Chains A and B, each alone.
Chain A
Amino acid sequence: MFTIVVYCLLIVIALYLLAGVVFTIFFQAKGLSCIDEGTHGSSLGFRVIIIPGCIVFWIVLLRKWMNIKAKNRAKANKEKRLL
């Protein structure tokens, strides 16, 4: 029973990290510069060094990215209405 629980936990963690890998590919391409101005003009070394963190903390980054996107959309709509 204990072995099954350990196996299940490992599978869940592996799936979570796999989702993190997929997210990181998109995030490095599009999201990074969107959530943090400090990443503009940053080195390739910096982009590589944050990959493990992106894989583990992908949920935090995704939420931040979505919030910024929503804010930008709201701002654009407001400007449209004013015009």
Chain B
Amino acid sequence: MGTSYSAVGWNRQKRIYDQVIAGCCVLYLVLFVLITVTVNPDCTFETVLLRSTSTLAVFILHVILSIGPLTRLNKKFLPLLYNRRHLGVTMFLLSAVHAVFGILQFHSLGNVNPLVSLFTSNTHYGSIADFPFQSLGFFAFVIFLLMAITSHDFWLHNLTPKTWKTLHMFVYLAYFLVVMHVMLGVIQYETNPVFVVIMISGAFILITLHLIAGMAEVKKDKKAYRPEEEGFVQVCDVRDVEESRAKIFCIAEERIAVYRHENKIYAIHNVCKHQGGPLGEGKILDGCITCPWHGYQYLPHNGQSPPPFTEKVSTYKVKITGNTIWLKPTPDTAGTTQQGAAVPAE
């Protein structure tokens, strides 16, 4: 969080994350070039560049799309989520190299505009075997471009979170276009089935991960809670909530994050005001509940962002009987101070 925008919101962790990304990318590209040159000494520089950047971009795209479901299934993957946008921009830059060199190599040597040539050099749109797969890659690239140029928080604020999120959900359409681009391209130009096998495996893993994570969420949301005295419902044992962490409960179709902070239990609405991030999947840093998506912060006892920030989320009353946490699922006004419930000594 910052009062004025900076180009890149780096901190020590994010620098390390980005250095690891850059290091892994360089290592992959070097290995790919060395293996390709060894196995196929006749291949051209352009071909090696096109294939190395495209395979790496597709691999990173799979990683990006896996991060969401993985963090829902296991909190150990959360560090991957904190800098997902940088991973996305890296993937876009690699796909840009692939796209530009592809157009230069295949469409810039004639007397027709390269972009016109891209769509008109092959017009077998009715055939699967001869489908102009490059146009699919082009449209996927346009989506990645729009996502990359709007990845800064300025756009989140000025396009409105809803529009921004909708735009960035197009990544799934782009993924489908990439899959078709690779599959149809491989069918037309390759005899080696390894690329098809890798692509199908990747798609299968992604779909399975999303289904498992989705089913886990539905199961959590459908858990029934019986209202007890004074409108409180029993949610869990105090020992189930780790210090500086939360557990999320879905009561009457509202998700509530029950946090433990300095041996007290607090409850706030689970949805971050910034972009709807899951606050209960974050942790308490410097005394503030920190959203795992973009680091927006809220004080546990009143759901308010620390000054000078003005975001507020609803808070809820909690009480502890024995070792059982009870929660009143009726929200108090956003920013209402709560006493919290003291955790009994073990």
Binding site for B on A (CB under 8 A): 2-3, 6-7, 10, 35-36, 38-43, 45-46, 48-50, 52-53, 56-57, 60-61, 64
Contacts and interface: CB of A to CB of B under 8 A. Distances in A.
B6 A43 contact: yes
A53 B150 contact: yes
Contact of A53 (B113, B119, B155): B155
Interface residues of B, number: 22
B207 to A, nearest CB: 31
15 contacts: A35-B158, A36-B157, A38-B3, A40-B4, A43-B5, A45-B7, A45-B8, A46-B6, A46-B7, A49-B152, A53-B149, A56-B149, A57-B150, A60-B158, A64-B158
Contacts of A60: 158-159
Contacts of A64: 158
Contact of A39 (B4, B8, B116, B149): B4
A42 B6 contact: yes
A39 to B, nearest CB: 6
A6 B116 CA distance: 6
A53 B153 CA distance: 12
Contacts of B153: 38
B154 interface: yes
A3 B115 CA distance: 11
B138 to A, nearest CB: 12
Contacts of B150: 53, 57
A6 B186 CA distance: 26
Interface in B120-157: 120, 123, 146, 149-150, 152-155, 157
Contacts, number: 66
Contacts of B4: 38-42
Contacts of A40: 4
Given A6-B119, A10-B116, A50-B155, 19 more contacts: A2-B120, A3-B116, A3-B120, A6-B115, A6-B120, A10-B113, A10-B115, A38-B3, A38-B154, A39-B5, A41-B3, A45-B7, A46-B5, A46-B154, A48-B7, A50-B152, A50-B154, A56-B149, A60-B158
Contacts of B8: 45, 49
A25 B5 CA distance: 19
B99 to A, nearest CB: 15
Nearest to A39: B5
Contacts of A53: 149-150, 152, 154-155
B146 A56 contact: yes
Given A2-B123, A46-B6, A38 B157 contact: yes
A36 B154 contact: yes
Interface in B145-180: 146, 149-150, 152-155, 157-159
Contacts of B154: 36, 38-39, 46, 50, 53
A53 B119 CA distance: 25
B210 to A, nearest CB: 29
A19 B119 CA distance: 25
Interface in B95-121: 113, 115-116, 119-120
Q: Which 5 A-B pairs have the closest CB atoms?
A: A45-B7, A52-B149, A42-B5, A53-B149, A41-B4
B113 A7 contact: yes
A48 B313 CA distance: 33
A56 B154 CA distance: 14
Contacts of B120: 2-3, 6
Nearest to A7: B116
A51 to B, nearest CB: 9
A52 to B, nearest CB: 4
Given A6-B116, A6-B120, A10-B113, A46 B152 contact: yes
A35 B155 CA distance: 12
A21 to B, nearest CB: 14
Nearest to A32: B154
